[in-house]
Amino acid sequence: APEQVRILPISEKFLEFADSIESELKAAGVRVKVDRTDDKVGAKIRLAQLDKVPYMLVIGAREEESQEVSIRHRDRGDEGSLGVQAFRDRVAEEIRSRSL
């Protein structure tokens, strides 16, 4: 996939946290983009689904406070929350093994 992860902040208040996650994932070699539009989260998820992005990370107050990301997979749907580093390691391994 040209874009492997899309970060979906629920409002512009969380763009700073989204940017920090983006830079961490880029450092691990992941092709990632932050959705900076003012759309509602449902619309952002739908657009990412249509763009066939494998992973969507939904970012809000709870995720920022716990330093975790809520993961949605294109095919498997909601996968719950995971720490930023744990997700980075998981995606990097999927890329390395070409299972993403």
Digit-coded pLDDT (tens) for 26-76: 999 999 999 999 999 999 999 999 999 999 999 999 999 999 999 999 999
* Model confidence, pTM: 0.93
Beta-sheet strand order (sheet of 5-9): 32-34, 5-9, 55-59, 68-73, 77-83
End-to-end, the C-alpha distance of the chain in Å comes to: 8
